[in-house]
Structure 1
Amino acid sequence: MLPLSLEFFPPKTPEGADKLRAARKQLYALKPEFCSVTYGAGGSTHSGTFTTVSEILAEGMEAASHFSCIGATRAKVRDQLAQLKAMGVTRLVALRGDLPSGYGSGGEFQYASELVEFIRAESGKAFRIEVACYPETHPQAKSPYSDLQAFVTKVRAGADSAITQYFYNADAYFRFVDEVRKLGLDVPVVPGIMPITNSSQLLRFSDASGAEIPRWIRMRLQSFGDDTASIKAFGQEVVAQLCERLARGGAPGLHFYTMNQAQATLALCKALGRDC
C-alpha cells in the first residue's frame, strides 16, 4: 500500500477551524505519513499556518509546515526556523512563494533553492525538506528545460524529496521522473493529487496554476452543468484511475490536496482499497 500524505490550508475563521478539526479527525483513519499546511503569499498566513501545524502535532500526527521565502529576510527565516524546531516540527515544504498583491519586490531570497540552501546551513539535518516540482512546467518558467534545471538546483541545494503540482496526465509525471533520473537525481517525486468535486473551482485553480485539464475531462465536466452528484462521481472515477496508474508505475506515494474537506479524499482512498 502506497504511503500517503495530506495537505490543508490554515482556516480564516473559528468556524473554519472547527470544520478543519472535524475533517482531520476523519482523515486520520487513512494513517497519513504526514500532514502539510500551506503558507500564504509573503507569509501572510504565518500565524494560522503555525497554529494549525501545532494542532496537528498535538493530535499525534507528523506535521510539515510550508515555508516560503519571497519577501523574507534571513533574520526572519532564522527566527521562524527556531520557532518550528521548538514546536517539534521535523519536516518542511520549502517554496519560493508569491508576493502579496501590491508588493513590488523585497526580501533577501529570490529562489526556493536559496531557501533550501539556507535551511541546510542553519539547521543541518534537523528538517526533512520537501520541495515543489511541476511535471507540466511551472507557469512562469522560460522553458521546460529551465524549469527542470530549477528543480535540479533545489535538490542539489539539499532537498530530500519533492511533491508535484497536481495533474491529470500521468504521462507528464512519468516523463518528468525519467528526466530527473537521467540527470542522476534519485530523490522521491511524490504525485500531488487533487480530487474533483467542483468543476468551476477546479477550472479556475488550473487556469491560474498552469495545471492542464485534458480536453476530454474539461468537456465532460462542463457537460454536467450544476449536476454536483455527476461531477463528483465522474471525478472520483477519473482520479482513482489516475492514482492506480501512478501506483503501478512506481510512484513512491500520493499527496492529497484535501481543500480542508474529508469526504472526497476518503472516497478516493476507499475506491483504491484502503481502509478508511
Structure 2
Amino acid sequence: MTANLDRVAEAARALNPSLYADLPGDIAVSFEFFPPKTAAMEATLWDSVETLKPLNPRFVSVTYGAGGSTRERTHATVARIARETDIPAAAHLTCVDASRAEIDAVADAYWQAGVRHIVALRGDPPAKDARFAPHPDGYATAADLVAGLKRVHDFEVSVSAYPEVHPEARDAAADLDAFRSKLDAGATRGITQFFFEPDTFFRFRDRASAAGIAAEIVPGILPVTNFANLQRMAGPCGTAVPAWMARLFEGLDDKPAARQLVAASVAAEQCRRLYAGGVRHFHFYTLNRAELAYAICHMLGVRPAAAPLEIAA
C-alpha cells in the first residue's frame, strides 16, 4: 500500500508544470569575482563580466586577498569595472595587516575611482591555521571597519553573515550579535557564506528577524564545479556539505561537462526553493566563470533586457 502511494505521489510531481516555467523574473542578482593573476585569467574574467552584464546585476563585487595580498589587483579590477561598464562595482576590504590610516587611504582611492560600495570584512589571516590578530593601529572588527568606512565617505556597505555560524564564534547567539553590530555601525545588508540546504538560510533569517534585525539578508550561492575543491573550502568556512551532494557528484571527476550539468541543476533547485520562501536577491560566487550563474539566472526568469525597436524615419 505504501509503495503504491509513493508511486502516485511521484507521478503527481512528474505531471506538475516545470519548477521554472513562467517565473516572472522578479529578482535581483549580484555576482562576485576575484582579481585575476595572469593575462589569461583577466581575459576569462572580462568575458564573464560581458556575459553577465546584460542581466542588469544590482552590483558585482571583487574579493580581496588575505593580508591585502591582492590589494593592487583588486583595485585595478574594481576601478576598471567602474570605468568601463555601467554595473555598480563593489570592492571587498578587510582589517588584516593594515593600519586604519592605510585602510582609510584605500577606501578614499576607491571613492575617487567612482566606487560607492564596499563589502567590509574582518578578513582571514594570511598564514594558514593562524588566528586573526588586529593590527596595532588597525580596525579590530568588521563593525569597526564599517564605522570607519562611513566616516571616510558615505559608502554603501555590505557585510558577511553566517547561516551555519562563524567557525570562531562562541555560539549562534554571539554570532548573531556580531552581525547586528555590523548593521548598527552602518552596513546596509548581509551577504551570507555559501550553504546548500535552503532550510539553513530560512532558520537563520527567522532567528535574525526574531532578534529584531530588519536589514536585507542575501543568500550567497556557490555553483559547485569541483566537488573535491568544495570540500576543502567548506571546512574552514563551517559550511556543511550534505551527503546527497557527494552522491550526486560521485563518478564525475573526469567528466567536466556532466559536472557542469549537475552543478547547474543543484544550484538552480536551491535558488528555486529559496525563491518559494520569499527570497528575491541572489548573490552568486562565480569563481570568475559566467556559464553556471547565467544558466541559473535564466531558469529563474532573469533575462537580458530586450533592445528597443528602431523605428524607421
Please give the TM-score of this superposition, normalised by the length of structure 2: 0.83
**Match in the other structure for 1:98:** 124
Which of 36, 40, 44 aligns to 1:19? It is 44
1:31 shift after superposition: 1.2
Q: In the alignment, does 2:62 pair up with 1:71? A: no
Return the letter of the residue paired with 1:73.
S
Q: Which moved more, 1:214-223 or 1:52-61?
A: 214-223
**Unaligned ranges ≥5, structure 2:** 1-25, 305-313
1:223 shift after superposition: 4.1
List aligned pairs for 1:153-168, cutoff 5 A: 153-168=181-196
For 2:59 and 2:45, locate their aligned partners in 1 and report how far apart those are by CA, in whole Å. Answer: 16
Please give the TM-score of this superposition, normalised by the length of structure 1: 0.94
Deviations, residues 68-124 of structure 1 (Å, cap 9, x unaligned): 01222111112112111111111110000022128884512221011112122332x
For 1:190 and 1:57, locate their aligned partners in 2 and report how far apart those are by CA, in whole Å. Answer: 23
Return the letter of the residue paired with 2:237.
S
SS at match of 1:116: helix
Aligned CA-pair RMSD: 1.6
Return the letter of the residue paired with 1:25.
E
Return the letter of the residue paired with 1:13.
T
List aligned pairs for 1:229-240, cutoff 5 A: 229-240=257-268
List aligned pairs for 1:1-276, cutoff 5 A: 1-58=26-83, 59-101=85-127, 105-107=133-135, 108-123=138-153, 126-276=154-304
8 Å contact 2:95–2:134 — kept in the other structure?
no
For 1:53 and 1:254, locate their aligned partners in 2 and report how far apart those are by CA, in whole Å. Answer: 20
Highest CA radius of gyration, 1 or 2?
2
Return the letter of the residue paired with 2:250.
Q
Return the letter of the residue paired with 1:48.
R
For 2:185 and 2:206, locate their aligned partners in 1 and report how far apart those are by CA, in whole Å. Answer: 21
Query: Identity of counterpart residues, as a percentage?
Result: 38
8 Å contact 1:198–1:232 — kept in the other structure?
no
For 2:32 and 2:54, locate their aligned partners in 1 and report how far apart those are by CA, in whole Å. Answer: 15
For 1:106 and 1:147, locate their aligned partners in 2 and report how far apart those are by CA, in whole Å. Answer: 19
For 1:163 and 1:75, locate their aligned partners in 2 and report how far apart those are by CA, in whole Å. Answer: 26
For 2:220 and 2:47, locate their aligned partners in 1 and report how far apart those are by CA, in whole Å. Answer: 23
8 Å contact 2:144–2:185 — kept in the other structure?
yes
Over 3 Å counting, the alpha-carbon distance change for 1:22 and 1:222 in structure 2 is same
Q: Which moved more, 1:33-42 or 1:143-152?
A: 143-152
Q: Which moved more, 1:94-103 or 1:245-254?
A: 94-103
1:54 shift after superposition: 0.9
Over 3 Å counting, the alpha-carbon distance change for 1:143 and 1:175 in structure 2 is same
**Unaligned ranges ≥5, structure 1:** none
